[in-house]
Amino acid sequence: MKTKTVNIKTVDGSCDAYVAHPDQPAPGVLLLMDIFGVRPYLREMTEHLASHGYYVVTPNLFYRDKHAPLVPDSLFPLAPDQFTAVMQQLRSYMQKFTPEKSVEDLQAIVDFLKTEKEVRPGKVGVTGYCLGGGVAIRAASKIPNLFSAVASFHAARLATDAPNSPHLQIGKIKAELYVGHADNDEGMPPEQQELLRQALIAGHVRFEAELYPGAAHGFTMKDLPRYNQQATEKHWQKLLALLKRNLH
């Protein structure tokens, strides 16, 4: 296993990213962060995924404002009484965040993969969490040939009344898609889940959309208060199966 931090040229500057990969050439996969950014646990997730035979890039989607870490690594794992204060700090980045710009970033990162000798040429996958889940779906919709496998876990606001709601373009996706919904998620209630499902069916997308009962928003994040170990283990099983079907 090899790891490194890289800076990837984009239209708007230089995106810092954490990379992990095996010694032999491997398919490329992007791992997209939640709002808390690239930190010790996301690096751990990156390395875990890479250990299954993938060249994994985890970009800092807020690089236009600040390179990682967005908040000090020493704050993690985040205690419940710290959560609100840290969220307030991160909202300034979120308010300036433009999903459409991140789609451009993902194209630049896939282009970067093509230059790395440890990346096996061919199909690329992406998995996103919370914020990153929405970005993954948007990118797969806007640039249909970018990915062959797309996963989104506990993402919110995927089927809203907004004119740029992800579900309105989702029929353009060519990749196989897996969506893991959090239970009792205010940002992705049952009516939005159903709207998304209907859009996927209407668009003839190959997909599985699944509710994780009892798993709250952010359930895969071990360093946050809502971590759910059982749901996280299932998420790895689903993700690895998706990537194996489509990247090998």
Please give the C-alpha separations between residue 236 and each of 58, 102, 180, 220, 242, in angstroms, as whole numbers: 16, 24, 11, 9, 10
pLDDT value of position 100: 86
> Which domains are delineated in the chain?
2-247 (3.40.50.1820)
**pLDDT tens digits along 179-228:** 999 999 999 999 999 999 999 999 999 999 999 999 999 999 999 999 99
Q: Which residues are catalytic?
A: 130, 185, 217
Q: If pLDDT is split at 50, 70 and 90, which confidence band does 81 have?
A: confident
Of 51-55, 89-93, 102-106, 168-172, give the lowest mean pLDDT range.
89-93
Q: Which residues, in sequence order, are CB contacts of 242 under 8 Å at separation 6+?
A: 125, 149, 151, 176, 178
**pLDDT tens digits along 19-73:** 999 999 999 999 999 999 999 999 999 999 999 999 999 999 999 999 999 999 9
Tell me how far apart the alpha carbons of residues 209 and 61 are, in angstroms, rounded to a whole number. Answer: 25
Residue 171: phi and psi, rounded to 5, are -65, -10
Averaged confidence pLDDT in the chain: 96
The one-letter amino acid at 219: F
Q: Scan for tokens 């984009």, then name that residue.
A: 10
Calculate mean pLDDT across residues 162-187. 96
Tell me how far apart the alpha carbons of residues 230 and 107 are, in angstroms, rounded to a whole number. Answer: 33
The two structure tokens encoding residue 35: 């709002």
- Position 80 pLDDT exceeds 90: no
pLDDT value of position 248: 86
**Which residues on adjacent β-strands are paired with residue 127?**
31, 151
